[in-house]
Chains A and B, each alone.
Chain A
Amino acid sequence: MRTIIIANMMNLNKLHNLAIRPIVGALASVAVVACGGGEPSTSPDRPSVVVTYSILGAVVSDVVGDAADVVVLMPNGIDPHEWEPSAKDIELLNNADLIVSNGLDLEGNVMEAIEAAEKDGVAVFHATDHIEVIEFGAGGDVHGDEEPHAEDEVVTADSVVTTEAKAEDEHGDEHGDEHADGDPHFWTSPVEMAAVVEALGVALADIGIDTGDRAAMTKESLLNTDQEVRDLIADIPAESRILVTGHESLGYFAHEYEFEVVGAVIPSFSSEAEASAGDLATLKETIADEGVSVIFTEMGTSPDVVEALAAEAKVSVVELSTHFLPEDGTYKTFILQLASMISVALQT
């Protein structure tokens, strides 16, 4: 039996950026006490694995099977950039046998609690330690190595400069938890996910949780899913494999399946950054130059801004669930849905 607990959430991060921070902090603690939340049903005699967010949680559950309780902290569909743990969540982290996190600052507000738990001797597994990380600025620059025409180069150089400048601007100021190291959205590639699963199997064995051959099986099933994704997108002609996204969340998908991410409404790995006129104007030009027909947006990106840009550039908008687990709760359905939506949108 595995138990997945959707912990109570207090999504206050936005408010924390403001002058009212102390007030909201006080309210949050009151609210946490008031709402209490469901009792964690981890039994003391079984090991517990705490995973930060739902998509990774689904895969971890597949690997762990019956060998431990798997608890997912963030409710499915919550923006992990924004979520904050409650007191109960921190208790779960401290009592875990293994914490599985994404890393690369995706769970900006949970990292402190995870680090504290790690100091107290809880084993921590950062998924992105086991993948080939896409560096900042490279997300909009995943060229399939074909026909690097001059104009393209200019646009790319430009966007790299702006994103780097932005990283410097925002480093340490009010956007203090901006991602500095690399793109955290590795789950958009089943191949990277398979690499994580392999490493996770080893990590689980290290702390004495025996999962048999489940890690190998999960890995194999992920690689099969990868093949299904390739079949799904096979019909998209090379010249249509251009992506414009909400924030930069499809870097790994693009890298794996030879798409080019030419721009993002908010050129940041984090949905917390805000739109700027300069970025929008650059993106509008890029959309015209590259013949982009659709903007893929997602949770956390302002729908008003995307609509305004799409109307002006005369392209359509397709909303992807890049941070959502679908109803059946499986990673396979998640990635296939993502791929098929992209495939359909780019071929109409």
Chain B
Amino acid sequence: MGNFVRPFLDNEFLQRAFLAGVLVSLTCAVVGTYVVLRGMAFIGDALAHGVLPGVAGALMIGMPAMAGAAVGAAVMIGGVGLITSRSKLSNDTAIGLLFIGLLALGVLMVSSADSLTGDLEAILFGQFLGVNNSDLVAQSIALCFVVIVAVVASRPFLLLCFDADLVSAMGYRAAWYHRLMLLLIAATVVVSFQTVGALLVFGMLLAPAGVGALISKRIGTMMLWAAVVGVVSTYVGLMASYHFSWAAGASVVLTAVTIFFVVFTAVSIRRSVVGDRS
């Protein structure tokens, strides 16, 4: 038992990494469930990459990386909204255009500034083991924000997920709540990229929420399972990183994805045995 608890007691950096991982997991459990149910993975992925030029720009002029990421995310969401509202182009075309445009801009910025080379890895993969207290504070604020919005807007969000046509019929403004949901995804990516990295936060959005969607039909229970899977992945991943000297962020996300496939297999087998078609 000592091997599974002692490392955390002995090492502050592991305690902070675990705490940060739990905060990311809880935030991603709520937001990721909406992402999975509404098929918004592409915008999530695009946001995760789209923050790159913002972060690079912020680092160049000495601003906090998070502010730059927020600008990048705002450009992405605003641009997608503009293209889809002013043209007949589909949502995924708009996302793809901004995704590749911002990524290209980010690559150019990073590659033309000598001082940023070491930071690119930090932006994309995060610094799980270098989490500081201000990261934790930001992460906590993001979690509170996400939970409050999810509770206040729970009913329209629920309708958006399962029957989008009903949203307007019930007197809610669908477009408005859609944008609010985008804002939640953006907030999650912007705050979490410093911990798990822009790419891995995307994994934490999808894998635990995917498990929740596999084993439950109720949105609240899905989020609960997603939170459990996220927290367990954080713990198991950090343990693996400790005992096998694996890269921390990747270990955590890989654990979450592995859990997804284990659950997926189990659910598939159970279905074929029980014959449950639902």
Contacts and interface: CB of A to CB of B under 8 A. Distances in A.
- Whether both chains belong to one complex is answered with yes
A12 B125 contact: no
A301 B132 CA distance: 17
A238 interface: no
Contacts of B132: 304, 307-308
A281 interface: yes
B11 A275 contact: no
Given A28-B107, A302-B118, A281 B130 contact: no
A280 B11 contact: yes
A274 B125 contact: yes
Choose among A28, A82, A280 the residue with the greatest number of B CB atoms under 10 Å from its CB: A280
Give chain B's interface residue range (CB within 8 Å of chain A): 35 or more
Interface string B11-54: 11110110000000000000000000000000000000100000
A9 interface: yes
B120 A15 contact: yes
Interface in B91-124: 100, 103-104, 107-108, 110-112, 114, 117-118, 120-122, 124
Contact of A274 (B100, B104, B238, B248): B248
Give chain A's interface residue range (CB within 8 Å of chain B): 35 or more
Interface stretch (A57-65, A73-81, A191-199): A73-81
Nearest to A284: B11
Please report whether the interface of chain B is mostly helix, strand, loop or mixed according to DSSP: helix
A12 B117 CA distance: 9
A309 B121 CA distance: 19
B163 interface: no
Interface stretch (B72-80, B149-157, B239-247, B256-264): B239-247
B250 interface: yes
A9 B111 contact: yes
Contacts of A276: 129, 241-242, 244-248, 251
A78 B113 CA distance: 10
B107 A31 contact: yes
A275 B248 contact: yes
Interface string A10-35: 11101100101001100110110001
Contacts of A278: 241-246
A276 B246 CA distance: 5
Contact of A304 (B103, B107, B122, B241): B122
A165 interface: yes
Contacts of A273: 247
A326 interface: no
A276 B247 CA distance: 5
A286 B251 CA distance: 24
Nearest to B13: A308
A306 B21 CA distance: 19
Interface string A67-98: 00000000101110010000000000000000
A280 B199 contact: no
B209 to A, nearest CB: 19
Contacts of A30: 104
A210 interface: no
Nearest to A84: B111
A31 B103 CA distance: 12
B187 interface: no
A274 B121 contact: yes
B194 to A, nearest CB: 8
Contacts of A14: 120-121, 124
A28 B125 CA distance: 21
Contacts of A279: 245
B111 A302 contact: no
A162 interface: yes
A10 B111 contact: yes
Contacts of B244: 165, 276, 278
B201 to A, nearest CB: 14
B10 interface: yes
Given A276-B246, A277-B11, 14 more contacts: A10-B111, A24-B103, A35-B112, A169-B246, A271-B118, A274-B249, A275-B130, A277-B14, A300-B118, A302-B122, A302-B127, A305-B127, A312-B11, A312-B12
15 contacts: A11-B117, A15-B124, A27-B100, A31-B104, A273-B247, A274-B125, A275-B127, A275-B247, A276-B129, A277-B13, A277-B14, A277-B129, A277-B245, A278-B243, A304-B127
Q: Across chains A and B, which 10 residue pairs bring their CB atoms closest together, nearest first?
A: A304-B130, A274-B247, A305-B130, A277-B241, A277-B242, A278-B245, A304-B127, A276-B245, A278-B242, A308-B130
Interface of A: 9-12, 14-15, 18, 20, 23-24, 27-28, 30-31, 35, 75, 77-79, 82, 162, 165-166, 169, 267, 271-281, 284, 299-309, 312
Interface of B: 7, 10-14, 16-17, 49, 100, 103-104, 107-108, 110-112, 114, 117-118, 120-122, 124-125, 127, 129-132, 199, 238, 241-251
